[in-house]
Amino acid sequence: MDNVIQFTPAQLIALILAVCGAIVTISAAIGVIAKALDKARAPEKEQNERLDAHEKRLNALDEIIVKFREYFDNDDRRFKEIEKSNKVTQSALLALLKHSINGNDTESLKEARKNLEEYLIEK
């Protein structure tokens, strides 16, 4: 056990410089790898941002479509009511026309009046 490890000051400084150089080299290599990974991931990140923007835009358009669908449904209901009103009115006019031609067609006038009354009561 007489072996004693001895360093000269020059060897100690060389060892410290070698360790520092290894640390600097490793950190530089890690920096280069990190830059390469960031560069490799950049298109994916840009694509994800574009997709998010498109999804937001599509969601806004979906809300607009729902609103317009409600408008169209409302208009469809109104058109059906107008068609029903026109049908009742035209049948009443037809009964009046028949009566004015014949003078005797009171039954169609009574039925037209009944239909018109029912329509107005429902409305």
* Per-residue pLDDT band at 52 (split at 50, 70, 90): very high
- Average pLDDT along the chain: 87
Contacts of 113 (CB under 8 A, 6+ apart): 92
Instruction: Give per-residue burial for 38-62: e unless 16+ CB within 10 Å, then b.
Output: eeeeeeeeeeeeeeeeeeeeeeeee
Residues 84/116, Cβ–Cβ less than 8 Å: no
Q: Is the pLDDT of residue 70 over 80?
A: yes
What are 3-43's pLDDT values in tens digits? 777 778 898 899 999 999 999 999 999 999 999 998 888 88
Residue 112 pLDDT: 78
Residue 60 pLDDT: 95
Taking residue 63's Cβ as centre, other Cβ atoms within 10 Å add up to 10
Give just the sign of the alpha carbon dihedral 11, 13, 19, 22.
negative
